[in-house]
Copies of this chain bind each other. A is one copy, B any other.
Amino acid sequence: MPSLLVDQEKCLKNIERMARRAEQHGLSFRPHCKTHQSAEISYWFRDFGVHSITVSSFRMAHYFAETGWKDILIAFPFQPGELETLHVLSENCQVSILLDSPAALPFLNHLGHPVGFYIDVDTGYGRTGVRTENPELMEQILVKAAGNPQLQFKGFYCHAGHSYKARNQEERSTIHQKALSDLENLKKQFDRHKPRVLYGDTPNCSTQKDFRGVDEITPGNFVFYDLIQHSLGVCSEQEIAVALECRVAGKYHHSRQIVIHGGAAHFSKEFLYMEGKSVYGQWVQRNERGWTQPERNTWLTGVSQEHGVLEDAGELFNQVSLGDALLFLPVHSCLTANLAKEYSTLNGRRITNIHST
């Protein structure tokens, strides 16, 4: 079975770096847990002063509430199918939800316990949220919510996910500055509510220097990072903290191709284009302290459900034998981790996650 190795030391450095950035900029730090989805890994954040977290589903909120977290933001628009889970969660936990439409409010009329809410703000990503061009809609939400004694307006939440589409740091900074300026305006406009501003994708939180107006950051991916973040110039390859361990299942001399046990069911089908090829993972060399970057890039260029193919394995071809364990950096660590039922530290200790039985 392929196994996702977590380099705890790298994770802790990634967490420390982000916690320090938050501190330097006077920001609260509410890390997103959707990448690791693991109680143990969430505890690693506590030593860095973290006592509140972000998740992206009610199921995740339930898991982290059961494992001891008392302040959870569910950063996904609330829809009434989750009302029952919200009731249960809010009994013992300080839960906040996202709203981006007055349509959700009638379903929240009979809450048994206080629930906080943030207005999800769209500064140009175009996925969810009220567009900053439409403060009237925010006003409508606030007016309608005002009659609900259990529902407390906390502030604005913004995920500027289009930062992933920026081709360079300059484009990313333009997206970031637009978001900051929009959020600053909202903060002034709704000043009477003393709104907090929550912000933060991994690309911006890892690289920007200006966080004026922001109160709290909510990045998630940075704990592991991955090849996408590296391709965006957001992290170094050395900062990528997870690698999928897969066994060699075939060596084909005529094509110098290696096949591994590790496919779409383990890596996911997320890919990057590299030198004209679809890439699903990148081989790294195992060593005593974890892994290192080989001089030449060797890529996983094909995946089916259980198979992974290294079309052009280069020198690696001569070095490996059937059954050897190879390590690969994932393209998108959130999706790769989501396919793992547990992780393993470098010295073989098991780390459970939301999928563990």
Contacts and interface: CB of A to CB of B under 8 A. Distances in A.
Interface of A: 1, 34, 56-59, 76-81, 100-101, 103-104, 107, 126-128, 131, 134, 161, 247-252, 254-255, 257, 259, 261, 264-265, 268-270, 302, 304-307, 309, 321-323, 325, 334-335, 338-339, 341, 355, 357
A56 B77 CA distance: 38
Contacts of A321: 103
Contacts of A57: 1, 261, 306
B305 A334 contact: yes
B126 A255 contact: yes
B261 A79 contact: yes
A127 B309 contact: yes
Rank and list the top 8 A-B pairs by shortest CB-CB distance, nearest first: A80-B323, A269-B269, A81-B247, A79-B323, A79-B249, A77-B249, A56-B306, A103-B322
Contacts of A269: 268-270, 335
Nearest to A78: B249
A270 B78 CA distance: 27
16 contacts: A1-B59, A34-B305, A77-B249, A79-B247, A79-B248, A79-B322, A79-B323, A101-B250, A103-B322, A107-B322, A107-B323, A265-B335, A269-B269, A269-B270, A269-B335, A305-B335
Copies in the complex: 2
A71 to B, nearest CB: 20
B249 A76 contact: yes
A127 B259 contact: yes
Contact of A322 (B1, B80, B357): B80
Contacts of A309: 127
A334 to B, nearest CB: 5
Contacts of A107: 322-323
B335 A76 contact: no
A315 to B, nearest CB: 19
Contact of A76 (B101, B261, B264): B261
Contacts of A100: 250
B304 A127 contact: yes
Contacts of A304: 127, 161
A128 B323 contact: no
A251 B335 contact: no
A127 B255 CA distance: 10
Nearest to A75: B306
Given A77-B259, A81-B247, A307 B128 contact: yes
A335 B81 contact: no
Contacts of A58: 1
Contacts of A265: 335, 338
A250 B307 contact: no
Contacts of A305: 34, 56, 334-335, 338
A250 to B, nearest CB: 5
Given A1-B57, A57-B261, A79-B250, 13 more contacts: A1-B58, A79-B248, A81-B261, A81-B323, A100-B250, A103-B251, A126-B257, A127-B259, A127-B309, A128-B250, A128-B252, A269-B335, A339-B339
